[in-house]
Amino acid sequence: MEDRRRTAYHEGGHAIVGMLTEGADPVRKVSIIPRGMALGVTFAAPESDRFNYSEPEIQAKINVALGGRAAEEIVFHEVTTGAANDLEKVTSTSKSMIMRFGMSEKLGPRVFGHDHGQPFLGREFSAEPDYSDEIAREIDDEIRRIVEAAHQRAKDLLTEYRGELGTISEILVKRETIEKEEFEGLLAGKTEEEVFGREDVPVPVPPPAAPEVPERKPERGPAPLPRPGLAGGTAE
């Protein structure tokens, strides 16, 4: 039960940050039903196919990815291994921002590293550095700066919406899945009853009344026979 609750807060953190971060892909559904190795999932997808993202939109993705870990830190004051996949995505995305997309003011519009493939030798693609150790340290510093800033933004946002995080996560524990419109309603402050409707509460049925038994009158025996000498006239 504790893992289930942690998962609900983790996914709730992703979803709230996704809903409130400008440039993030819209959240479609939140679920804590296990799928493969994942204990829960937050479905987010753009309105249409996207092949080009701006720097703020990529930063928004990093913010959302760190929302689950931030929620665990705020509520449970510790983190679990459940954020491992999120951290892999965050590290890879921030690295691409610096090394492939030139999205660093400090390092400028440059690409670092060249990919060389040797398929005929049966070797995997490998990255060959074309920069100095000093540049490598600057790249690491920039990646750390991006990740730490996104982590802090996620924590600040979830701290501000701490009450909504608790309400939504506890509902998620009970219902397992929350759709987009339902999530938006809860985040806007609506009650669970307003969002999901009044639950059908069974009306207790009183036990059937005992059948009425007609009152039995005592049976009368045969009329007593007249005593001799008393029937008709008077005795002499």
Q: In what order do the strands lie in the sheet with 41-44?
A: 41-44, 27-31, 177-179
Which of the residues 11, 73, 164, 182 is marked catalytic?
A: 11
pLDDT of residue 202: 47
Catalytic annotation present for 11: yes
Q: Is 234 in a helix, a strand, or coil?
A: coil
Q: Is residue 213 part of a domain?
A: no
Q: Is residue 112 part of a domain?
A: yes
In this structure, what token pair is assigned to residue 68? 């689950």
The pLDDT tens digits for 9-65 are: 999 999 999 999 999 999 999 999 988 778 899 999 888 887 889 999 999 999 999
Q: Is residue 109 part of a domain?
A: yes
Domain residue limits at 83: 2-196
Q: Is residue 131 part of a domain?
A: yes
- Asked if residue 58 lies in contact with residue 51, where contact means CB atoms within 8 angstroms, the answer is no
Q: Is residue 17 part of a domain?
A: yes
Kindly report the CATH number assigned to the domain that includes residue 135.
Answer: 1.20.58.760
Q: Is residue 165 part of a domain?
A: yes
Q: Is residue 214 part of a domain?
A: no
Residue 79 CA, distance from chain mean position: 17
Spatial distance between the Cα atoms of 42 and 174, rounded to a whole number of angstroms:
17
Residue 114 pLDDT level (bands cut at 50, 70, 90): low
Name the domain count of the chain: 1
The pLDDT tens digits for 132-177 are: 899 999 999 999 999 999 999 999 999 999 999 999 999 999 999 9
pLDDT more than 90, % of the chain: 61
pLDDT of residue 226: 59
pLDDT of residue 34: 86
Q: Is residue 201 part of a domain?
A: no
